């Protein structure tokens, strides 16, 4: 209960209109039966007087003390790899991670057998990243992580915390099996070694007719009867 004093009683350390505090409660000097002063009340009283009066420690102060405006706190943030700065409000920065956590928990509650895909592109702050990691570990649904930009600091930690890519690994193993089968069959048909075919076909390689014959890709070169094998080639640039 708050009690405001406005009396003319004489008090050694109090003036008119002064409030006395004891802990978190206001108390009146009339409540004290003894003449002893409350140290806590005297402390807050002196602070109140120093703030309300025009001088403090023989130096002028503001006549009116204003409170700091209550709003969304903002901090300057420098964009990576750029020279520009921008103001980032802390509410959105913290609320964004809360929205991610709420979305993951909601999707997990609907169907915990489907895989969740988590796309990462950010610097990875400490508190939001650890909160997301704890949520990922508590979910029953498998969470697959994908980096679509950059993953700095703990964002890389979240990227590595995702489930192993079983589907991609299975497809890659199947593709490698097919490639090995094709190289082995090609080695049998051409007479070349598998290592040579793997080296030659690891990048795009073009053969003319004679090179294809020597490599074993073809059995013979078919030419029109009027063109001999040792006939000189015509200048293509002079045609037309």
On average, the pLDDT of the chain sits at: 72
Using pLDDT thresholds of 50, 70 and 90, give the confidence band for residue 178: very high
Write out the CATH class of domain 96-163. alpha beta
Find out whether 147 and 159 touch, Cβ atoms under 8 Å. Answer: yes
**Does residue 50 carry a pLDDT above 90?**
no
**What gap in Å lies between CA 61 and CA 99, rounded to an integer?**
45
Sequence-distant (≥ 6) Cβ neighbours of residue 68 within 8 angstroms:
none
Cβ neighbours, 10 Å, residue 61: 14
Residues pairing with 76 in the sheet: 87
**pLDDT for residue 187:** 92
**What gap in Å lies between CA 27 and CA 20, rounded to an integer?**
5
Copy the structure tokens of residue 215: 């490599």
**Does residue 158 carry a pLDDT above 50?**
yes
Torsion angle defined by CA atoms of residues 202, 203, 207 and 211, in that order, rounded to the nearest 10 degrees = -50
**What gap in Å lies between CA 221 and CA 211, rounded to an integer?**
11
**What gap in Å lies between CA 101 and CA 104, rounded to an integer?**
5
8-state DSSP, 34: S
**Does residue 163 carry a pLDDT above 80?**
yes
Of the ranges 47-51, 97-101, 220-224, which one carries the lowest mean pLDDT score? 47-51
Longest dimension (CA), the chain: 135
Q: Where in the chain is the domain with CATH 3.90.226.10?
A: 96-163, 167-237
**pLDDT for residue 21:** 40
**pLDDT for residue 159:** 92
Q: What is the mean pLDDT of residues 87-95?
A: 69
Write out the CATH class of domain 167-237. alpha beta
Higher pLDDT, 211 or 21: 211
User: Which residue shows structure tokens 């051409």?
Assistant: 190
For the entire predicted model, the pTM comes to 0.39
- Mark 197-225 as b/e (b = at least 16 C-beta within 10 Å): beeeeeeeeeeeeeeeeebeeeeeeeeee
Copy the structure tokens of residue 175: 């593709």
Higher pLDDT, 8 or 49: 49
């Amino acid at each position: 209960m708050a009690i405001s004093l406005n009396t003319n009683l004489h008090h050694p350390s109090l003036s008119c209109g002064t409030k006395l505090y004891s802990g978190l409660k206001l108390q009146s000097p009339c409540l004290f039966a003894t003449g002893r002063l409350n140290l806590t009340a005297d402390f807050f009283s002196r602070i109140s007087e120093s703030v309300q009066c025009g001088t403090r420690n023989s130096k002028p102060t503001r006549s009116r003390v204003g409170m700091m405006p209550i709003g969304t706190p903002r901090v300057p943030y420098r964009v990576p790899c750029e020279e520009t700065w921008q103001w980032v409000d802390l509410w959105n920065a913290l609320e964004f991670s809360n929205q991610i956590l709420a979305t993951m928990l909601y999707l997990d509650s609907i169907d915990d057998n489907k895989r969740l895909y988590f796309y990462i592109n950010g610097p990875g702050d400490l508190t939001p990243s650890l909160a997301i990691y704890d949520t990922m570990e508590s979910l029953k649904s498998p969470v697959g992580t994908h980096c679509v930009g950059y993953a700095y600091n703990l964002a890389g930690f979240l990227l590595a915390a995702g489930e192993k890519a079983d589907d991609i690994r299975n497809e890659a193993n199947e593709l490698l099996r097919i490639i090995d089968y094709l190289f082995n069959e090609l080695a049998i048909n051409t007479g070349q070694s598998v290592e040579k075919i793997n080296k030659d076909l690891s990048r795009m390689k073009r053969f003319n007719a004679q090179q294809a014959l020597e490599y074993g890709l073809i059995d013979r070169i078919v030419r029109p009867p009027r063109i001999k094998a040792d006939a000189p080639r015509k200048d293509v640039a002079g045609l037309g």
